[in-house]
Amino acid sequence: MRRPVLIGALAAAAIALVSSAAVAVSSLGEPSGPTMMGDQGQRTGAGMMGPGMMGSAGGMGMVWLAGSGDAVPSIPAARTRAAGAAKASGLHPGEVMWFDNGFYVELKDSSGKPATEVIVDPRSGSVTTEPGPAMMWNTRIGAPSRTMGSTVVHGTVDASEARAIATAWLAARQPSTTIATLDAYPGYFTLDLRRDGKVSGMMSVSSINGAVWYHTWHGAFIAMEDS
């Protein structure tokens, strides 16, 4: 009579182990979820993900446009790559920022509203969804599991509250850094930062719960151009 009991116990343990592993995997890459006025979380170290995240062209997955192997040496060249990648989705490039790790490009819809953010690799020319908020928080064009078609989910944190959250976060961690601009994307805000009058980086604030995600992947700022 002990063998069935032992087998049953082992089966239960295996199920529990699989369940716990699934929970752990599902939590990877998730931003912290503090309340709007609570202790804002920081997500750092979210690096570029590889081709394993590739989805269909047009932004529904990670890769919008595969690399051609040709270097992208300038902001106009990066804008051209981003425009080609975004055309099928009815989007076009706005602000382009050149960092030593790559080109950041804001994509806007036909009405001129920010829709999402992409990165152009200066070595290969590939265009991919920016890691972090654009991939995980965008409620219109983001990761496949979070994409909600053309529906834009409106959050509870408005622009002034997002600015206040970011200001408090910076005061506690980077007191010499100030906010230059704030752009509203579906599900979050992205802010350009300045230190000593120069671009120093970027950060985002969720419009759903006020969580903070500092962009750690850009590197040193080189130049920018808006359109």
Q: DSSP string spanning 35-79?
A: -TTS------------GGG---TTTTSSEEE---S----SHHHHH
Assigned token pair, 156: 């509870």
**Percent residues over pLDDT 90 in the chain:** 64
User: 46: closest CA among 121, 134, 132?
Assistant: 132
Half-sphere exposure of 166 (CA within 13 A, CB side): 31
In whole angstroms, give the CA distance from residue 189 to residue 210. Answer: 10
Given a contact cutoff of 8 angstroms between Cβ atoms, the answer to whether 63 and 51 are in contact is yes
Given a contact cutoff of 8 angstroms between Cβ atoms, the answer to whether 186 and 138 are in contact is yes
Q: Euclidean distance between the first and final Cα of the chain, in Å?
A: 76
Is residue 36 over pLDDT 70?
no
Is residue 166 over pLDDT 70?
yes
DSSP label at residue 151: -
Cross-strand pairs, 65: 127
How much is the mean pLDDT over the chain? 77
Assigned token pair, 181: 């601009």
pLDDT at 153: 56
Is residue 149 over pLDDT 50?
no
In whole angstroms, give the CA distance from residue 60 to residue 129. Answer: 9
pLDDT at 62: 75
Q: What is the pLDDT of residues 89-141, one digit of tens each?
A: 999 999 999 999 999 999 999 999 999 999 999 999 999 999 999 999 999 88
pLDDT at 141: 85
Q: Under the phi-then-psi rule, with left for phi > 0, alpha for psi from -120 to 50, and beta for the rest, what region is 187?
A: left
Q: Under the phi-then-psi rule, with left for phi > 0, alpha for psi from -120 to 50, and beta for the rest, what region is 6?
A: alpha
Tell the residue number behind the tokens 């759903």, with chain if given.
Answer: 208
Is residue 182 over pLDDT 80?
yes
pLDDT at 50: 30
In whole angstroms, give the CA distance from residue 67 to residue 199. Answer: 28
